[in-house]
Amino acid sequence: MRVPLRLFIRCSLLVLGVVFVIVIWKSLPIISGYAAKVVASGVFVAGRPAKDVVRQDLVSFPANLASCSVDSSDSSVNASVLGLARRKAIYRRGLGATLVSGLGEGEIRAQQVVRASPPVVDQDTVDWPMGDRAARSDSGGRIIGVDTAKLGAAVGVAFGQGAPASGTRAVVVIHRGRLVYERYAPGFDRHTRLAGWSMTKGVTSAMAGILEGQHLLDVREAAPVEQWKTDDRRTIRVDDLLHMNSGLSWWELYAGPAAATRMLFEEGDMGDFAERSALRHPPGTVFNYSSGTANILSSVIRDKIGAGYYRWPYEQFFYRIGMYSAVLEPDAGGTFVGSSYCYATARDWARFGLLYLQDGVWDGQRILPVGWVDYTRKGRDYGAMWWLNTDGARFPGVPSDCFSSEGYEGQYVWVIPSRDLVVVRLAMEHGPRLNGAAFLRGILSACGQ
């Protein structure tokens, strides 16, 4: 029997309407969770006024549906959407902001954490790169090897000069190891911690490298994940996690209730959530960008470090290269969110890039093991949690040895060894996006060989 067209259309619209309502309903706690977490980090980690964080960081749909209230008495942020799906993020000194998920707030606050204490150093009295006193020019006031006017114009493009404004907040340029140029948008300066988002994956990769150098981790061995030991996932190697070809099923979508957003804004133990992913492809065969994979690796790293976990990244990595502003934020279960939640100043993100430019050596001391940077750059388009520019495919007109740590909303640390160059760009892109290739070409043109 044929169904009348009008009835078919009505039924189809009804089904679509039901699906739409379900998707929206499932999205509400993600929207409010995102808002609570972003505002808490923006206010208590970055030190920005709450009204600026809400106005600038939650301007796009659907984040702008959320309402937030900041409680300075207990360093927390509550958020909801039209009074529904209420979520809370709490700030703890030395740990940053954590979204209350999976565990109760009391349980999270009661966690025993021994934090690292940064060295008592006035970085303004110490020369770059360990400090912020930058010897930038010769006796004539020029920056040797750099056309300063040309460089200023190239950087200005990122701030909307002669191009659509793309939400750039900070740019730092390091040439031949020297800080030769920096610029900040109004409301931001060299002391402002800014989100790296997925640049945190590069930090996680560096932590894995340090553990490899300490013989606490072997990237060639199977990932030590307990729940994988009795099925085909037991063949996934640490190397597969680092190169995003674990074979695990994952949907890296940020626009709705997908695996990535559920993990970041609804799960208390993000690594455990990702570890439950089914195997879709043989390990080592198919690239699939996955924040879940990064958080699995973060859980592995936590198990390998053991006691002193919360001090380890700071004492073994950040503080050794002068990244005193860096804050790695944990999930509710206490594991650093290795996919997304590292905050640092633009200068400190530049120090991170400079470490890789210098083959993992800092002030004569080896931080990353011999060969780790080369290993990081091994791959076609993606290395060990760093993006590659093989044959200039990712950034046309930019040297093919360029590799980059990149994050959501336009975060970049570019390293170009052949030009002895590191470029950092931090942003909040809501509309026009920066043309990274053209931006880099302008900077390269201004910096001499």
| pLDDT per residue as tens digits for the range 162-185 | 888 899 999 999 999 999 999 999
Q: How far apart are CA 447 and CA 176, in angstroms?
A: 10
Q: Residue 32 has what pLDDT?
A: 98
Instruction: Please report how many Cα atoms fall inside a 13 Å half-sphere around the Cα of residue 95, on the Cβ side.
Output: 25
Residues of the chain scoring pLDDT < 70: 1-3, 5, 7-25, 135-142, 449
Domain spans in the chain, listed from the N-terminal domain onward: 5-109, 170-446
Question: Which CATH architecture group holds 170-446?
Answer: 3-Layer(aba) Sandwich (3.40)
Query: In the structure encoding, which two tokens stand for residue 76, read together?
Result: 């927390």
Query: In the structure encoding, which two tokens stand for residue 74, read together?
Result: 């207990």
Rg (CA), the chain: 23
| φ/ψ bin of 283: left (φ > 0), alpha (ψ from -120 to 50), beta (otherwise) | beta
Q: Residue 135 has what pLDDT?
A: 53
Q: Residue 2 has what pLDDT?
A: 61
Q: How far apart are CA 17 and CA 178, in angstroms?
A: 58
Query: In the structure encoding, which two tokens stand for residue 224, read together?
Result: 């030590």
Instruction: Please report how many Cα atoms fall inside a 13 Å half-sphere around the Cα of residue 320, on the Cβ side.
Output: 20
* Helix (H/G/I), strand (E/B), else coil: 191: coil
Query: Is 437 buried (19+), middle (13-18) or exposed (0-12) by CB count in 10 A?
Result: middle
C-beta neighbour count of 317 within 10 angstroms: 21
Q: Residue 138 has what pLDDT?
A: 44
Whether 364 and 129 have beta carbons less than 8 Å apart is answered as no
pTM, to two decimals: 0.94
Q: Residue 1 has what pLDDT?
A: 52
Q: Residue 353 has what pLDDT?
A: 98
Q: Residue 422 has what pLDDT?
A: 98
- What backbone torsions phi and psi does residue 198 show, to the nearest 5 degrees? -75, -5
Q: Residue 26 has what pLDDT?
A: 75
Query: In the structure encoding, which two tokens stand for residue 410, read together?
Result: 């336009």
User: Which alpha helices (DSSP H) does 329-427 contain, by range?
Assistant: 346-357, 372-376
With tokens 């093919």, the residue in question is 400
pLDDT tens digits for range 388-403: 999 999 999 999 999 9
Beta-strand runs (E) in 314-410? 327-328, 342-344, 361-362, 365-366, 387-388, 403-407
Q: Residue 273 has what pLDDT?
A: 98
Alpha carbon 31 to its chain's center: 19
The CA distances from residue 418 to 70, 177, 391, in Å, are 47, 13, 14
C-beta neighbour count of 10 within 10 angstroms: 11
The CA distances from residue 136 to 175, 246, 340, 353, in Å, are 10, 44, 33, 18
Q: Residue 65 has what pLDDT?
A: 96
Whether 395 and 440 have beta carbons less than 8 Å apart is answered as yes
Q: Residue 18 has what pLDDT?
A: 45
* Helix (H/G/I), strand (E/B), else coil: 94: coil
Which helix or strand (DSSP H or E) is residue 273 part of?
helix 270-275
| φ/ψ bin of 160: left (φ > 0), alpha (ψ from -120 to 50), beta (otherwise) | left
Whether 331 and 98 have beta carbons less than 8 Å apart is answered as yes
The CA distances from residue 110 to 76, 92, 103, 333, 409, in Å, are 15, 11, 11, 11, 33
